[in-house]
Amino acid sequence: MSDIPRRAVSRTAKLASLPLGFAGRAALGFGKRVTGMASEVVSEQIQQRTAEQLFSVLGQLKGGAMKFGQALSVFEAALPEELAGPYRQALTRLQEAAPPLPAASVHKVLAEQLGENWRDSFAEFDDAPAAAASIGQVHRGVWKKGRKRIPVAVKVQYPGAGEALVSDLNQLSRLAGLFRVIHPGLDVKPLLNELKERLSEELDYELEAESQRAFVAAYAGDPDIFVPPVIAAAPRALVTEWVEGTPLARVIAVGTTAERDDAGRRMALFHFSAPARVELLHADPHPGNFRVLPDGRLGVLDFGGIARLPGGHPEVIGRMVRHALDGEADAVVAGLREEGFIRPDLEIDARAVLDYLLPMLDPIAEPEFRFTRAWLRGEANRLANPKSPAYQLGKQLTLPPSYLLIHRVTLGSIGVLCQLEAQAPYRKILERWLPGFAPTPR
C-alpha cells in the first residue's frame, strides 16, 4: 500500500461524486412530482438512494472519511435495514481486510520512532499486520525485558495519516447539507468539528499512552475490566501488552446468551465508571476495541479517542434522568433549559418533553433490561419519523457542544449493547456511578 496522501486525488474524487449524485436524484424527484406522485414517496426514494451512495462511498474510504463513517454509524438504526446492513458490512470488511503497509515502510517508521536499533528490543516481530484501521495498523511481537518475554501489540501510524484526515474532514464539511436528506434532524457540522478537534490527539501516540496509563492505574486488579499496560511510546508508534481474548464481534455473532449478557454488563460498567475513576471517557466504543478474556474480564483497547471530563460525568445529567423517571416534568425542563438543550426564549410543553424522553429511559426504568436491535430501531423510528410527535418536538431541542461527545459515545455504547442483545441491571450501574442519579431518601 502506498502512503495515504498519494491516494488523495482519488479519495477526493469519490467524495466529490456525492453532491453530483444527489443533484441527479433531486432532478428525478422533481420530474416525479410533475407527474403527480406524492411528495413523501419522492422524498423517501431520494432519501434511500442518497443514503445508499453516501454509505457506499464512506465504506470504501479510509482516513477521515472512514472515521466519520464510524461516527455516523450510531445513527444507522434510523435507516431501513436494507441500507444499514450493507453499510455495517462495508465498514467491517474495511477494518478486517485493509491493505497492509509494506514491511519496509513499517520498519522505517519504527526506526524513526523507537531508534535504529529497535529490533534489539524484540525477541520476535511479525511483519504481517494483525489488524488495520483508519490511521494505523497493529503488529504482534514479543518484547524483551531482561529475561522476561512479553507478548505485545505494536501500533504503527501510516505515513501521511494526518494530512489524509484533515483533507477528508475538510471535504466532508463542504458536503454537510447532504446529510439532512438522510436524517433531517441531524446536523453533522458539530460532529465534524468535534472529530477535527480530536484529530491531533488521536495522531499523537504519546498522548494516547498517557491516557492509557491513567486507565491502567485506575483499573489495576479490577474484577471486571482489564486495560493492557503500555510498554513503550513515541509520537507515531505505540507498544502495549497483547490482549489475548475473544473479539467482542465474535461474542456478538456466536456467543451464548450468558456470554453476551455478561459482556454487556461489563461494557456498561466501564462506560459509566471511567469518568468517576479516571475523569476520562473512552470515546471509541465499537466492537473492535473490546476483547473478552478467558477469565471473563472485558479487555479494552485503543485509547486514542478520549473525552476529558474533569469532575466526571456532569451531575446534572443524572439529576435530570432521575427527575424524568420520577415524572417531574417541570424539573426536567428546568434542567434542560439550564444546560442549553432548550433555548431560553422557547415556550415548551413540559409534559410533552417528558413523553419524548421516557421511552429512551426504558433501559433504566426497571431493575433489569434487555437491549435489542428491534428496540433501538423502534426508538430511532420514533425520533426520526417526520410524522411522529417526538420528531416535531425533537426539532425544538438543541445539543450543546459540550455534550456532543458524551452523547455520541453513549449512543455508540448503546448500539453495541443492542448488537449484543444484552440483559443486565443497568439501573444499578447508574445508581453506583452516575452522579445525581441515585434516588434520595424522602
The predicted-structure confidence for 16-45, as pLDDT tens digits, reads as follows 554 434 333 333 333 333 333 333 333 444
Averaged confidence pLDDT in the chain: 79
The whole-number pLDDT of residue 315 equals 94
Instruction: Kindly tell me if the per-residue pLDDT of 348 is higher than 80.
Output: yes
Is pLDDT at 94 greater than 70 in this prediction? no
Domains of the chain with bracketed CATH? 4-96+164-183 (no CATH), 103-157+204-216+227-240 (3.30.200), 244-442 (no CATH)
239-267 per-position pLDDT tens digit: 999 999 999 999 999 999 999 999 999 99
Q: Record the pTM.
A: 0.79
Confidence category of residue 69, pLDDT binned at 50, 70, 90? low
Q: What percent of the chain has pLDDT over 70?
A: 68
Q: b/e for 162-193, b at 16 or more Cβ within 10 A?
A: bebbbbbbebbeebeebbebbbeeeebebbbe
| pLDDT category of residue 423 using cuts at 50, 70 and 90 | very high
Higher pLDDT, 36 or 274: 274
Which of 78-82, 154-158, 376-380: highest mean pLDDT? 154-158
Distance CA 96, CA 133 (A): 8
Average pLDDT score over residue span 125-130: 94
